[in-house]
């Protein structure tokens, strides 16, 4: 009785778009946190100034995070290696009766 074993090894890599997505995925929340922290600090002042620039940072960070998620999904490549091996198997008496 001939047995065939199939081994598949897969590897995933990021392209340049995927790497940019990772950077935006990690950097977006940090940018938003910096902007929001600046808004809170300005609100604690007795005479707060204009915070519209900080709110723009918050929104840019949120958009960068979402675009980064999409870029990480799109910017991938997959490599597959398939190895097929045929081996002679020794069958037991019970297995031969079923054949």
Q: Encode pLDDT of 26-83 as tens digits.
A: 999 999 999 999 999 998 998 878 889 999 999 999 999 999 999 999 999 999 999 9
Asked if the model's pLDDT at residue 4 lies above 70, the reply is yes
Q: Which of 77, 86, 79, 76 is nearest to 8 (CA)?
A: 79
- What does the pLDDT read at residue 33? 97
Asked if the model's pLDDT at residue 88 lies above 80, the reply is no
- Domains held by the chain: number: 1
Q: What is the mean pLDDT of residues 6-33?
A: 96
The DSSP 8-state label assigned to residue 93 in this structure reads H
Question: Residue 55 sits in which domain range?
Answer: 2-98
Q: What is the mean pLDDT of residues 75-96?
A: 78
Asked if the model's pLDDT at residue 89 lies above 90, the reply is no
| Contact present, 39 and 54 (Cβ < 8 Å) | yes
């Amino acid at each position: 009785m001939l047995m065939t074993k199939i081994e598949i090894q897969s590897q995933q890599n990021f392209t340049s778009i995927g790497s940019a997505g990772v950077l935006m995925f990690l950097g977006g929340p940090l940018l938003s946190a910096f902007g929001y922290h600046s808004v809170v600090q300005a609100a604690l002042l007795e005479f707060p100034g204009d915070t519209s620039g900080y709110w723009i940072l918050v929104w840019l960070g949120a958009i960068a995070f979402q675009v980064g998620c999409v870029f990480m999904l799109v910017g991938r490549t997959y490599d597959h290696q398939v190895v097929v091996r045929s081996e002679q198997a020794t069958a037991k008496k019970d297995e031969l009766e079923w054949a």
